[in-house]
């Protein structure tokens, strides 16, 4: 029986908008760690379209089969098999990366895990390294839409951490400077952090 690849419609919808940002922000990067590779769709699409990068996937072990099934269906040599990485449980991957990408993870994590994520990325990126963080966030406590507020409430009801505020992330970011906040489709943002 063939393994059925996981599929996220949201990944399909946002991948081109994300690529258009990463083409600029990761232009001078050589190796990128993706935290929370999920289905693997982003990794395949982005690695294929950013051939100058080595793209390292990572996630909790239960997602590895899905990521690997996406990777095995494409003939690209600049994407790496998933590393087991659960924020708050595993130590940060020991890789020589100058870029980090994470999509739709901060609002799933508990507050302490989101804080640890920011601190860990800040600690492990080299000077000048870039962290591109995609997802829905609040800004000064304000939601960008009513649907975002409803989604935040549903996340809390299901035991997830809920939306993080950009000011909160900035307070945890240590040596990471927030260089840009880019409006993205579906009321999402891309936060562009750079290590000072």
Which pLDDT tens digit goes with each residue over 94-135? 999 999 999 999 999 999 999 999 999 999 999 999 999 999
Q: How far is CA 178 from CA 106, 161, 181, 191, in A?
A: 16, 22, 8, 7
In this prediction, residue 1 carries a pLDDT of 41
In this prediction, residue 4 carries a pLDDT of 81
Note whether 183 and 120 are within 8 A (CB): no
State how far Cα 51 lies from the chain centre: 19
Residue in this structure with the two tokens 């009801």, named with its chain if needed: 157
Segments making up each domain of the chain, as ranges = 9-195
Domain 9-195 has CATH 3.40.50.720: no
* Six token digits for residue 165: 């505020």
Pick from 115, 77, 86, 101: which is nearest to 11 by CA? 101
* Six token digits for residue 2: 């063939």
User: H helices then E strands: how many in the chain?
Assistant: 6, 7
Pick from 171, 106, 97, 105: which is nearest to 128 by CA? 97
Q: Which positions of the chain have pLDDT values less than 70?
A: 1-3
Question: In terms of pTM, does the model score above 0.75?
Answer: yes
């Amino acid at each position: 029986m063939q393994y059925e690849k996981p599929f996220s419609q949201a990944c399909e919808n946002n991948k081109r908008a994300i690529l258009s940002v990463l083409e600029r922000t990761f232009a001078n990067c050589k190796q990128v760690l993706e935290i929370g590779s999920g289905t693997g769709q982003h990794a395949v699409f982005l690695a294929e379209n950013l051939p100058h990068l080595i793209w390292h996937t990572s996630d909790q072990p239960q997602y590895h089969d899905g990521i690997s099934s996406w990777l095995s269906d494409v003939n690209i040599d600049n994407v790496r098999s998933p590393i087991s990485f659960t924020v708050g449980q595993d130590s940060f991957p020991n890789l020589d990366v100058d870029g980090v990408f994470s999509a739709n993870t901060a609002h799933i994590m508990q507050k302490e895990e989101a804080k640890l994520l920011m601190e860990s990325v800040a600690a492990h990126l080299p000077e000048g390294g870039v962290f591109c963080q995609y997802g829905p966030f609040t800004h000064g406590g304000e939601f960008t839409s009513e649907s975002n507020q409803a989604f935040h409430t549903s996340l809390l009801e299901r035991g997830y951490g809920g939306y993080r505020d950009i000011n909160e992330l900035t307070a945890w970011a240590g040596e990471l400077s927030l260089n840009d906040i880019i409006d993205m489709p579906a009321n999402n943002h891309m936060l562009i952090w750079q290590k000072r």
